[in-house]
Every structure is written in C-alpha cells, then in structure tokens.
Structure 1
Amino acid sequence: MLLKPLIKRQTYIQLSIVSIVMALTIIAQAYLIVSIIEAIFLSNASFSAILPSLGLLLFVISLRAGMNYLNGVIGLHAANQAKKKLRNRVLSHFTKQPVDLSSQGRSGEKVTQLINVVEQTDSYFSQYIPKMIQATIVPLAILAIIFTQNWVSGVIILLTAPFIPLFMAIIGMKTKDKSEEQLNELSSFSGQFLDSLQGLTTLKLFGQSDREKSRIEDSSINFRQATLGVLAVAFTSAFMMELISMLSMGLIALELALGLIIFDTITFATAFFILLLAPEFYIALKDLSSAFHSGRESLTASKKLEEQLNEPVEELTWGEASLTSRPPRIQLNGVSFAYDESETVQDVSATIEAGSFVAIVGKSGAGKTTLLHLIARLLPVHSGDIFVNDIEQDQLGEQAWFNELSYISQHPYIFSGTIYDNIQMSKPSATKEDIDHAAKEAGLQPLIDLLEDGLHTVIGEGGRGLSGGEKQRVALARAFLKQPSIILFDEPTTGLDLKTEQVLNESITKLAEDATLITVAHRMHTIQKADQIIVMDEGRVVGTGQHDMLRKSNATYQSLIGDVAGGERDGWS
C-alpha cells in the first residue's frame, strides 16, 4: 500500500480527537434543541428562562462548525505533505535513472505521472481518511445514545446500516475499473497532445496535421467518455445512499409514531431526540460513501504510481574521489552495454591519453553515441571498467566528475529565458565579465551585437528564435565558461553551413587546448586531425590508430572514407 504509510500517526490522533468532540457536539446539539422545544411548547417557559439554553446551543453549533473546519484543515495538510513526498519519490525515481535512459518514453506521460496522477491521490488524504475516522466514531456514539433511549430504533438502525457499506463495496469495485480506464485515457491523451505540440512543424511539413488533429480529437473523446463513466458511478452511488437513508428514516419515524401515539411507550422528548440523532447517523455514513468513491479513485492513481515506482532502475553508483590532474587519461577495459538485452556496445577496450584528440567513427547504429554516453557516465557500464587517471569511474564523486565534463550534442537543449541565463547555468557563480568573455570565445558576439537586448534577449523553450548554429554557439559558450578538462562532442557541426561550421571548429580548437577531446566524427577534415581514431562496427571496436595507418590497413575504415569520397556526407551518423 503506497498511500497509507504517508500519513503520520499524529494525524490519526488529531482526527480522532476532532471526531470525538464532533460526536459530542452533535449529541449535545440534539439534546439542547429538544430541551428548548419542550420548554417552550410543553412547559410554557418564558423566553428569559430558555436564554441560557439558547446561548449554550449557539456555542455548541459554533464548536461543531469549528471541528468540521478543523477536520478539513488537518486533512488538507496531510494531503499536501503526502503529495509532496509522492512527487519527490516519483521525481527521484526518474532522476535515479541514467540521463540517457530517463529521457526515453513520452514526456507527456511523465508529466501526467508527476502532476495529475499524484494530484488524484489528494482525496484519499483530504476526504477519505478524515471521513473514515469520523464515520467510525460519530455513528457509534450516536447509536449508543439511541440504544439508551429506545432499543427498537437502535435495532432498526443496526439492520439497515449494513446496506450502506454493502453498496459502497459493490459500487467501489465498479469505481476502481472506471478510474483505471480514466487514468489510462488521461495518460494517453497527455502524451499524444504534448508529442503533437513538439512535432507540430514536422506534421505541417508532411501534411499530417489534419490526421493528427483527428487522433487528438478521438483521444479527447475517449477521455471524456471515461470521465463521464466515473461520474455516472458517482451519481449512482449518491442515489443509492439517499434511498437507503430515506427508507431507514421512514422506518424509524413509523416506529416512533406508533410508540408515541398508539402504544404510548415513548415520550415526546425521547422521540424527538431520536429523530434528530438518526439523520446524523446516516449523514456520517453518506459522507463516508462520497469520500469512499473519491478514495477509490485515489487508490487507482496510487496503483499506477506504484507500478511506475516498482519498475527496475539502473541507478548509477558514485564514490567520493576527485580528479587530481587535468586533463585526465581515460582507459576502457572490455566495456559493454545493452538496450533491452540487445548489446549496443560490446567488449570495447581503448586508451585515451591525457590532452589528446580522439575521433570515434562508424556507420549509423555502430554504437558511437552510446559509447560516448558511457564515457560521459550518462549510462551504466554493464560489464567491464572505465578508469580515469587510474581511478575507477564509479569511485569518482558525481559533482567532481561533471564539474570536469562538457558534452555538446547535435541538438543541445536551450531553456526558455535569456541567452545570459542559458550560458550562466554551466557556472552559476560566474561574473558578467566571465559570461561576456565566454560568449565572445564561442563566436556569439556578432549575434549579440544584432540583438537589441544583447545577452539579455529572451529566447523560447528549446531555443525557439535561434538557428542551429546559434544554439551550438550557446552550448559552446557554456563550455568556455565552465573550462572543462574533458570535452565530448557528438558531431555538433553536422547540418550547419560551411561558414558557421568553420567558426565553430575554431572555437572548439581553442576550447580543447587544455582538455581531453573525444568526438563522434562524420567530417573527413575532423577525422584527419585526430591523434587517435576509434573505428566501430556493430558495437565493437574494429580498429584504432591514425588516419594514414587506418586507410591502408582497416577495411571498415576504408569503406567509411569511401562513403565521403568526392564530397562530405552525413550518412555515418
């Protein structure tokens, strides 16, 4: 059970005390009303004689209202605390996964898990638990008092009351199925909608926007139908509770009328007192029924969260060691990694000397980017070892490692905000002068000069408003600001025009002067400059060396450079 442990023992105690006080106020309120009515109409008491009772009644009603409010406040506080813990657990589960694995799957579904599904657990804490405790204490107290006044009425309540939990159980099973269907439709709709928004340009270009619109509309209709199904069950539940309560009250009223008028076995005060208390008994159970419906929805949401949290996580382990010399030397010994039991990198061994420039080459699907992710420690090594300056990589401190590393991919992510903020994120303590210098080194100055607000120009999510080359320059500026000792590139110049590529290559050369540089390379001029070339094919290293040696002795490399003969191609990527 995921939700129950999230409630503190203190919360149960507080809710129990509030429910006891509420039960006493309900009984006292009924007693005072009966006393006042009896005094006025049967004893002909004066107004001044009943003033103390009226004052006490007002106090009891106020106290009951206060307890009802306090009950809600305690429930809401418990819900907020529990949801905070749940969100932290879900977020922790996502972040425990290596970066490359956690980015898989639909973003919309993950957002739904983190926000909507967690939010649906609210009613379990804010309504179901408080009402359950209240429905345990208040009806029992009322029933005990009724039995002391008229045992026949008590028996009627005992015989009719079980029908309420019986119908709650029957309807609850239906609610669970409908809630699961609603949550599944919500996750599907959220994921599809976000995917469509992110790929809107592609959909337009391929003339698929109308088709996607129809798919979203169908998904929306399915979600609506699922929601209406949940509401139908809720309305059925409310109708049945009202029906049972009315029939029960009718039986009690009939029994009291017979005892009062025909058999003369009960007094007016007692009959009136029971008639005031009996509805309170059923109101408490009806409130529980309503809360039970919401609670079932919450339990369905918790089941979905539990399934997510129970999924196995390939968590990276870290130590506390730090790099003592910069730039570092990196050694790979029999490194392997598999996606879904299909090995992408197999038994890779290589030595990358400190301060060297290494190019990783191979056809599409050869495992180049995966190897780069393993070196960056964005993925766990399944077998083998990676050593950095003769220290096992998993013995390094996480912060110590990433402080020394910069990774620039083909599509670096630019956050919504200013260009200044996007550069500063790599080193929050940097001064304005440091950021200005980093931007100039990355070749951003011509762009900054054209912008009215310069570095403080606001850009959209994902770098909307910037070209591919400008995004790469922002990413390079981050690296210049950070001054890493290990730089990893996943061919950042692919798809750029020659002038932009030349500017970026000059910046990369300057950045790599005091660092170990590893790049997935597709351009011949980049490969030829490398101190060492690692040739990959089907996840394995099939050759290492420099360009002149490999083009004479390595068949895979010869095939690769043949692919770009007569002009540069990006077909290796």
Structure 2
Amino acid sequence: MVEKRLNQEGLKFKGYLIELALASLISGGLVIAQAYFLAYIVNGAFLAKKGLKELWPYFLALFLIITLRFTAGYFGEKVGTRLSAKVTGSLRERLLLKISALGTKLLLPEKTGELLTLVLEGVENLEVYYARYLPQLISAGIIPLMILVVVLTHDLISGIIMLLTAPLIPVFMMLIGSFAEKLAQKQWVTLSRLSGRFFELLQGIADLKAFGQSKNQVEELKKSGIAFRDATMEVLRVAFLSALMLEILATISTAMVAVEVGLRLLYGKMEFIVAFFTLLLAPEYYLPLRNLGSSFHSGRTAMASSHKLWEVLDQKENKVFVNKRSITWNSPPEIIFQEISHSFSPGKEVLKKINLTIKPYEKVALIGPSGAGKSTLVKLLLGLERPARGEILINEVPLYELSEQDWYGQVSYLSQSPFIFPGTIAENIALGKKDAGLEEIKRAAILARAHPFIAALPEGYNTVIGEGGRGLSVGERQRIALARVFLKDAKIVILDEPTAGLDYKTEEILEKVIKKLAENRTVIMIAHRLSTVYQADKIVLLNQGEVAGIGRHEELFQENQFYRQLLKAYRGEV
C-alpha cells in the first residue's frame, strides 16, 4: 500500500507531514464533536422537548464545528499540494542533474523520448501520491482510530463490529495491489514506448519522407497508441471494479452497525442519544478508508512510474571532477595525455595507452579512420568521461582535480552539428557568455562572419529561430556557433571538423574564421579535410585506438605509410 522510497522522499519535508497529521487529528476531533452536538440537538428537540432558546448555543457550536471542519479539510488539501510541489520539484531537479552527470552513459542506451516522458509525465505522476494518496493514508490511520476509541467507550458492541469490519477494506486493497501494480507498470511501459516512438518520428520525419517510410512509421505509432489505450483500459477496469467493491464493503459494514443499533434501540437496550451518536459516526469511520480506496489506483500508478525514476537515480556516476581546485590561466596550459586507455564495454578498448603532449598555442589535428578513437579522446579532454586508466594533466595538474566550472570556463567546443536552441539569435550566441551585452554579441558575430546575414534579417539579432536552427542554412548555423566560441574567448578550442558538409564558398569563409579563431589559443581539431591537416602544427595519427604517428605533415608523409594511405583516402583516390 505504500512505497518505501516515495515515503522517504516525503520525510525530507517533515514539516508538511506533521501539518497533515495535525489536520487529520483536528478533523477527527471535529467529526466526533459534530456527531455529538447533532445527536444532542435531535435528542433535545424531539425527546427532551427542549426549545430553541435552550438549544441555540448548540446550533451555533454545530455551525462553528462544520465551518472549522471544512477549513481543516481545505488546509489539509493545501498542505498536500505544497508537499507534492516540493517533493516532485526536488526529484525533477535531481533527475535532471543525474541525467547531466551520467551523460552518454545514460543517453546512449536510453531513448530520448522515454527520458522526456520520465522527466515530465513520470515525475508528474508522483504529484497525486503526495497531494492525495499520502494525505488520505495519514487520515485513514488517524481519524478511524479516534472514532473507534470514542465508540468503544460509548457502545462496546458497535465498536467491536467496526473493529472487525474496517480491516476488510485495506485487506482487499492489498489483495488487488500487486495485480494493480503490474497493470500500472504495463501502462507506464507502453506510454514510454509511445512517447519514444513519437519523438523519434518527429526527429526523423524528413528522412522517413525521403525514403517513403513515413506511412509505415505512422502505422507503428498507431500500434503503440492502441497498446497504450488497451493498457489504460485494463487499469481503469480494475480501478472501477475495485472501487465498487470498496463501496459495497463500506456500505455493508455501515449497515451492520445500523441494524444492530436499531434492534437494540427498538428493544430498549440502548439510549437514543448514544444510538444516534453511533450511527452518525459509523459512516464517518469508514469514509477515510473509502477515500483511500478511491485514490489507491492513482497511488499505484505513481509507484509504477517511480520504478524507472529510481533506476536512473541509482545509477553510479562516473564522476570526472572530484575536487574543486581553482586555477586561472593567463595563457593556454600545457596538456599531457599520460598512458590513457578507455573502453565503453568490458574487453573492448577504444583507446590504448595514449601518450601525447600538446604545447600552449599549438594547432593539433587528430586524424584517423572512423572508429580510431578521435571523438573519445576529445570527450575525455572535455571531461565528459573519465578514462579507465591513465591521467590527463593540465599544467602538471590532473584534470580531475580541477574545478569543473573553471575548466569549462577555459574550453570551447564546436561540433560538426552544433545545437541551436529555440530563441533569438542573440540568445544563442550569448550561450558563450550569459552576461554579454548586445555590442559584445555583435563583435563576436562580426569575427565569425555571421553579422552580415544576421543584419539582413528583418529583426536582426532579435530574430527568433526554431529548434535545431530551423530557418537557417548549415553554414549560418556554424557561424552562429563560431560566434559563441569567439564570445567565450576560451584558452582552448576543440573543433570537430566544423566545415564538413559545406559548399566550397562557405567552407572557405569558415576556414578563414577558424584561422582567426586559432590566434592566441590552443586549437585541437578532429580533421577530415586535407586543408585542416596541412595547417596543423602537429598531426596525431590514430588507428584502432592507438597512436600510429605524431608529427608535421611533411614528416609523416615521408616516414609513415599509413598516413600516406589515409591522405589518399581523403583525396578520394582509394
């Protein structure tokens, strides 16, 4: 009936739980007081023949009690809502930080759409657990117990009947609990698959259209939708049937109390005021249990979606930056890769004992066939992964002892396909420096040769662009990304062949921009173009995760056969 870890999260905000318990205690006391005053008024008016003059204080007290009971109920709901907002906000923040910390370790095996569903829908499902299910669970543990104690002190027989019948409701909930949780888990899995497929369909719609597969994928999406519909209908079917059974159990239990009280009253074995007081308390006794039953399936849905949440949160982070050693450099630092080995899966090394020194201001080109380990080496330097063995030294200090914030403040990275976020062009360039003013942004755009096309737009730097840079050409997106790099003005720049896939004219423009960018900086390039290779101060030739050669173009061309073969491949001769 409860999920231990969800409750542990709630316990982090004990103040709200104490408030919920107090609200339940006050509500329980007011329920008993309301029943007593109502029984007294009815008994006084019809049997004791008391007039309005004698009873009006009791009417006033009853009105105040009903008002206070409504207020206590409203207060409890508000506290539950605040508790829900606090816990889900905390969990969503932790989940996003965990996803960020895990990086490719999580993003590679998981579908993006399913992760989005977890962050949004999955965490949102927990709101009902804290806003409704947990407060009702607290009420069901306090109010019936208070009423039972009062009834036992006034009427032992009715109290025993209540004591024996009340457990039937939670026992029934526990009996259907495991079955209901399996259905809720199935519903969550089908929802995740549907969301993942839909997201992929949106991302790849252009390619699907080009290959004539869009209709087939729509059919697959429809199948996922039908699977989710069927899973949801199964959950609802069980929810409605179990709710009906709970209502029947509560009604029969109340009827049993009413029958035995009525018979004893008929034969004069019980006073009217006690009988009426007991009858008024009987439905109130079962009400919290019925309310708990009505939100039981919502609670189970929350528990089902929490399983995936814990699965992600419990993954061990491969922490890269373990210390916070703060260092500021006035010039680019020396970078040393010392016996670096790395693997993404056991027994399959992608880097093997890499030894490499990059001097300040050097222009280094990493070249090699696909799968040689170029991108992995860059990921390690960026601090996205920690090598399995070996160390990266920055001015003789291990990279992982540095402050993460300080290191990323010194490094800029430009990929082949830089991501352009939804927003204005100015906002996208300012990603390199959040507090940059418009004049700084313009200067960076001028250096990146992006200013002319931006100025030609109707709204200039305030032009809103779509996700992924929709509305811009590939070359324009690259220039915006280069403007970010200029704006950041980092000491180390890492480029993943930013001119790949561009036409000759745009490529020529960007090469000039990159040449300007390389001034007074250390530049590390993953190179696929001969022009990039020729310009490098140092070429690092990688093959199957190992260094196959280091030197300038002329040296390697004379001495390294593998390098000559690679150049032929780059020229298209092989």
Query: TM-score, normalized by length of structure 1?
Result: 0.95
Residue in structure 2 matching 1:411, options 404, 408, 417? 417
Q: CA deviation at 1:322?
A: 1.6
SS at match of 1:3: helix
Residue in structure 2 matching 1:290, options 291, 294, 305? 294
Cα deviation, 1:284-334, whole Å, max 9, x if unaligned, reads 211122233332322222222111111222121243132434122211111
Matched, 1:399 2:405: yes
SS at match of 1:488: strand
Question: 2:425 touches 2:461 (CA, 8 Å); kept in 1?
Answer: yes
Question: 1:405 touches 1:485 (CA, 8 Å); kept in 2?
Answer: yes
Q: CA deviation at 1:430?
A: 2.4
Partner of 1:136: 141
Question: 1:533 touches 1:546 (CA, 8 Å); kept in 2?
Answer: yes
Partner of 1:328: 333
With over 3 angstroms needed to count, the CA separation of the structure-2 counterparts of 1:284 and 1:376, relative to structure 1, is closer
Matched, 1:366 2:372: yes
Cα deviation, 1:540-560, whole Å, max 9, x if unaligned, reads 111111212212221221211
Partner of 1:444: 450
SS at match of 2:365: strand
Partner of 2:125: 120
Q: CA deviation at 1:351?
A: 1.5
Residue in structure 2 matching 1:45, options 20, 37, 50? 50
Residue in structure 1 matching 2:535, options 509, 529, 532? 529
With over 3 angstroms needed to count, the CA separation of the structure-2 counterparts of 1:27 and 1:221, relative to structure 1, is same
SS at match of 2:518: helix
Partner of 1:379: 385
Partner of 2:175: 170
Alpha-carbon separation, structure 2, partners of 1:260 and 1:279: 19
Residue in structure 1 matching 2:553, options 547, 554, 558? 547
Q: State the one-letter code of the partner of 1:63.
A: L
Matched, 1:276 2:280: yes
Partner of 1:201: 206
How many residues are matched? Answer: 566
Alpha-carbon separation, structure 2, partners of 1:75 and 1:449: 52
Alpha-carbon separation, structure 2, partners of 1:29 and 1:565: 91
Unaligned 5+ segments in structure 1 are none
Partner of 2:150: 145
SS at match of 2:329: coil
Residue in structure 1 matching 2:7, options 4, 7, 10? 4
Alpha-carbon separation, structure 2, partners of 1:498 and 1:280: 81
Alpha-carbon separation, structure 1, partners of 2:177 and 2:517: 64
Residue in structure 2 matching 1:247, options 235, 252, 260? 252
Please list, as runs of the form range in 1=range in 2, the aligned pairs for 1:204-283 lying within 5 A after superposition: 204-261=209-266, 263-283=267-287
Residue in structure 2 matching 1:350, options 334, 350, 356? 356
Question: 2:539 touches 2:550 (CA, 8 Å); kept in 1?
Answer: yes
Question: 1:335 touches 1:345 (CA, 8 Å); kept in 2?
Answer: yes
Question: 2:337 touches 2:354 (CA, 8 Å); kept in 1?
Answer: yes
Cα deviation, 1:7-46, whole Å, max 9, x if unaligned, reads 2333333222222221121111112212222222223333
Q: CA deviation at 1:281?
A: 0.8
Matched, 1:91 2:119: no
Q: CA deviation at 1:566?
A: 5.7
With over 3 angstroms needed to count, the CA separation of the structure-2 counterparts of 1:102 and 1:446, relative to structure 1, is farther
Alpha-carbon separation, structure 2, partners of 1:220 and 1:502: 49
Alpha-carbon separation, structure 2, partners of 1:409 and 1:300: 39
Question: 1:95 touches 1:102 (CA, 8 Å); kept in 2?
Answer: no
Alpha-carbon separation, structure 1, partners of 2:205 and 2:273: 73
Cα deviation, 1:85-118, whole Å, max 9, x if unaligned, reads 2112211211222x44454332222222212111
Residue in structure 2 matching 1:72, options 68, 77, 88? 77
Query: TM-score, normalized by length of structure 2?
Result: 0.95
Task: Report which stretch shifted further, 15-24 or 55-64.
Answer: 15-24
Partner of 1:538: 544
Question: 1:86 touches 1:118 (CA, 8 Å); kept in 2?
Answer: yes
Question: 1:96 touches 1:316 (CA, 8 Å); kept in 2?
Answer: no
Partner of 1:316: 320
Q: State the one-letter code of the partner of 1:56.
A: A
| Fraction of identical pairs, as percent | 39
Q: State the one-letter code of the partner of 2:85.
A: N
Q: CA deviation at 1:533?
A: 0.9
Residue in structure 2 matching 1:54, options 47, 53, 59? 59
Question: 1:323 touches 1:389 (CA, 8 Å); kept in 2?
Answer: no
Alpha-carbon separation, structure 2, partners of 1:205 and 1:120: 38
Question: 2:148 touches 2:159 (CA, 8 Å); kept in 1?
Answer: yes
SS at match of 1:334: strand
SS at match of 2:181: helix
With over 3 angstroms needed to count, the CA separation of the structure-2 counterparts of 1:508 and 1:22, relative to structure 1, is same
Q: State the one-letter code of the partner of 1:275.
A: L
With over 3 angstroms needed to count, the CA separation of the structure-2 counterparts of 1:165 and 1:565, relative to structure 1, is closer
Matched, 1:181 2:186: yes
Q: State the one-letter code of the partner of 1:218.
A: K
Q: State the one-letter code of the partner of 2:466.
A: G
Q: CA deviation at 1:193?
A: 1.1
**What is the RMSD computed on CA atoms of the aligned residues?**
1.7
Partner of 1:156: 161
With over 3 angstroms needed to count, the CA separation of the structure-2 counterparts of 1:15 and 1:405, relative to structure 1, is same
Question: 1:405 touches 1:484 (CA, 8 Å); kept in 2?
Answer: yes
Q: CA deviation at 1:500?
A: 0.2
Q: State the one-letter code of the partner of 1:497.
A: D
Alpha-carbon separation, structure 2, partners of 1:400 and 1:19: 51
Question: 2:528 touches 2:570 (CA, 8 Å); kept in 1?
Answer: no
